[in-house]
Chain A
Amino acid sequence: MSDVTEEVRAYTVRLELVDRPGELLRALEPIADNGGNLLSIFHERGNVTPRGHIPVEVDLEATPGRFDDIVDALRDEGINVIQAGAEHYGEELTVVLIGHLVDTNLSDTLTRVERSSGASIRDLSMSVPQGKDDKSSARVRLATQRGETDSAIEIIHEIAEEKNLRVVEPLTAGDAP
């Protein structure tokens, strides 16, 4: 089939690695060797699967054909590929977070939002006030999978509550002018 849509797309691959030195590098080599462009690696060292493996999430770019080769190569190497595929982000969501964002580790906050909600952060804009005690604000734009916006908001609220942050969310239904 002469499918000419060989454009580069973003993919997320979830792997489970055995907890031993060099294992992560071994998993990344097949990606680079097969023409994949690594975007990010989330290596959750503290978290272990019931089988004692470490979950790793890899974001990469590749053409669909090369992506299939990458998944095959990973499996040939005996690496456990849990899930592979293009994320179908269909909706966008913008929220403003308010509070002691730096002290409560904004990068941890955002990473957890991404991981728990399956949303992807597209843009972040932050405003940190002069005074140390003042609250800072951040505007976060997320891409969520179709139909998942409500659950993403719920997850953001949960994490924000734990860190004593405020969430200003959009009024979705009332957006029509």
Chain B
Amino acid sequence: MGAGAVGTSVVDLAAEYGHTVTAFADSRSAAVAADGIDAAAATDRKEQDGVVGDADPDDALAGDYDVLVEATPTTLGDAQPGFGHVERALERDRHVVLANKGPVAERYGDVRALEQASAGDVRFEATVGGAMPVLSTIEDFGPDKITAVRGVLNGTANFILSRMAAEGLGYEHVLAEAQDLGVAEADPTFDVEGTDAALKCVIVANVLSGGDEEYALDDATVDGISDLPGSALDLANEDGRTIRLIGEVADGAVRVGPRLVPKHGALAVSGTRNIVQLETSHAGQLNVSGRGAGGPETATAVLADVDRLAD
């Protein structure tokens, strides 16, 4: 479900991973075929006509499949329609792989309760850090062996801050440049105000707490970068530091905001690159860095989850 950059990439790459796409839907249309849809035709049609096929999205949900990939846009609050898709799949005892952050950030308990009652499982590696294996690493180490997680979880904000620092340019100037390059969306609010990074941190907090405590966006302290003057970055630079939008999950609290970090430290990644630093009980710090967004990048994480379900 979902025919944005991520959904389209999943359809494109599924065959390479040995999977058959039996249905592909956006909010208005669907292509459904039990023996596999024509991926190229559906993505071309989406590009040209804005629809993926002649069927109804509901047909996709009712169709035959093993795993539902939910990649519709992230929504806050009730996390619909994504949550409803998850619900329908689990009620049919199907597996779900999420790229949509909404259901696991805003309604984690509800998702887990549905999963409990279902023979299907829910996985959501792609919701945190795109291609980077963050949640699966936490899962492998054991959530109780991770004491804190922090990092740069939004490529747009990081691009803006690293350009401002490197070129001595103002926020508005760099934002316009980022929009021209397609790094920032026309409405960059979600990225620059820290909401996107906060949702990812909330998901991490939910995984770390193991259900003891449920987190949602409202539980996070969130501060963005939209009113940072270039002079703040200059002053940080003079002192061997820089400013990055850092998300932090520690001591049961979730916090996102601009922070001073050493200029040449691990967390001062540049451009759209992301990094996540895990603080482990017995193995010190572990850094995972890479591309935190993008269609093929996120689809890579989605398909890795699909493979994990097959194991």
What is A's interface to B at a CB cutoff of 8 Å? 94-96, 98, 125-127, 129, 134-139, 141, 166, 168-171, 173-177
Contact = CB atoms under 8 A, between A and B. Distances in A.
Given A96-B232, A125-B238, A173 B264 contact: no
Contact of B231 (A136, A170, A174): A136
A125 B238 CA distance: 9
A137 B264 CA distance: 22
A175 B261 contact: yes
B235 to A, nearest CB: 4
A170 B265 CA distance: 12
Interface string B251-272: 0000001111110111100000
Interface string B74-115: 000000000000000000000000000000000000000000
Given A125-B238, A139-B236, A139-B239, A175 B262 contact: yes
A168 B231 contact: no
Contacts of A139: 235-236, 238-239
A64 B163 CA distance: 51
Interface string B266-286: 110000000001010000010
Contacts of B234: 127, 137
Interface of B: 148, 150, 223, 227-229, 231-232, 234-236, 238-239, 241, 243, 246, 248, 250, 257-262, 264-267, 277, 279, 285
Contacts of B231: 127, 129, 135-137
A136 B231 CA distance: 7
Contacts of A136: 229, 231
A129 B262 contact: no
**Which residue among A96, A98, A177 has the maximum number of chain B CB atoms within 10 Å of its CB?**
A96
A171 B238 contact: no
Contacts of A171: 150, 246, 248, 259-261, 267
B239 A177 contact: no
A171 B245 CA distance: 10
A137 B235 contact: yes
A171 B231 CA distance: 19
A125 B231 CA distance: 11
A96 B260 contact: yes
Nearest to A95: B260
**Which residue among B228, B243, B246 has the maximum number of chain A CB atoms within 10 Å of its CB?**
B228
B260 A169 contact: yes
Contacts of B236: 96, 139, 168
B148 A173 contact: yes
